[in-house]
Chain A
């Protein structure tokens, strides 16, 4: 009988110690589950998961790039068009080259077609937020990160996003500034 008791005692102590370890093993287990299921991963969650993606419809985006005559730059969208869902996080890129022989500061101004679509562009990052300085002959790829507001009008099936680069030097640009009313 005494042998039976000490066997049971040993087994139960092993179980208790094992469960103490199991409590700590739950820590990596928890993070693994979060990783595999993709829940609880900070940054991504705040940008994408909190946005309601409307998968019921597609919107065709067309990208356009222009330079004002006062600016000696080559400016082109990397992709011409893209199909996206409203609410989806979208990143596109633009390519710009300073073809002149001196450094120039440029400022991009967006416009939208149709114009009312502009209200539904929620930009998180854009090269148009700040003036861009390019050295002589420098080439640069610039991103735009945005979400189309899911409450966007249902009849908007194709939207054009157009950027025009202006020379940020006021004297060189005077003529163009008079003609242009910047939006957005």
Chain B
């Protein structure tokens, strides 16, 4: 087990190294990133202070060095102007667009993003699993058709549209503004009980909006998986033992049908950050999505690079978690072999 973990960690490190290189060079690829534009502008001003600042920036970010050196400095594998100071050391770089350290720009947004999306994931599972079980055990019943129908509507509705509609009607009917994640008056305030309450009440709509499409597709997949498992012989065995229908269902076919969802955790985690950009824009949620979007548009290289790396780390860690969980819940995987 320890050996397995070590091997996995080593592969993860290699994967991340490759991803970081790709991220860095792809961001660097097109000409005209934020920093070079800035330097050009400063030089064009043709006054000595501006030129000195341009020179400083060039030195600071090693723009006079070859790209691979810039890359190594960025990840912290090579001493830059300030010694070793890169991702590995926890220095996430400088955002030129905001003129602040990346850590300050992303800061709260990162945790709020995780919060909103985790809430959405919880919502998806809590709603989808019972409905899926209901419609799988009562296949072709009225309830099943109804769940299927609503599921398809959920799948087909663009979530930003739903967000817009909710935004409008909530305001019109209840006079509530559901934009943002907390009341405007709390912006920049320290976290107090009041602020948390405001946050929770603002969380409901984004959760539902972001979760709806996921819920619909989860119902469909869970139902299909369960239907497969319900036809299996071991379920008949369980019933022939005299086990009640609910208990037999939860203990055997339901557990068998969980595997694909556990395997999905790896994809789920990065989705927590990069998904729901449109909804965040529409509902003006202070999440990472919109920040990433503008960073990419402006080629704010360190900011974009950091967010992309963060997503990559989440992906790799998610894969590890799902592999460990799979081995834990499924002895066939744990023991290797087995048919």
- Do A and B associate with each other? no
List the interface of chain B (C-beta within 8 A of A).
Answer: none
Q: Which residues of A contact B (CB under 8 A)?
A: none
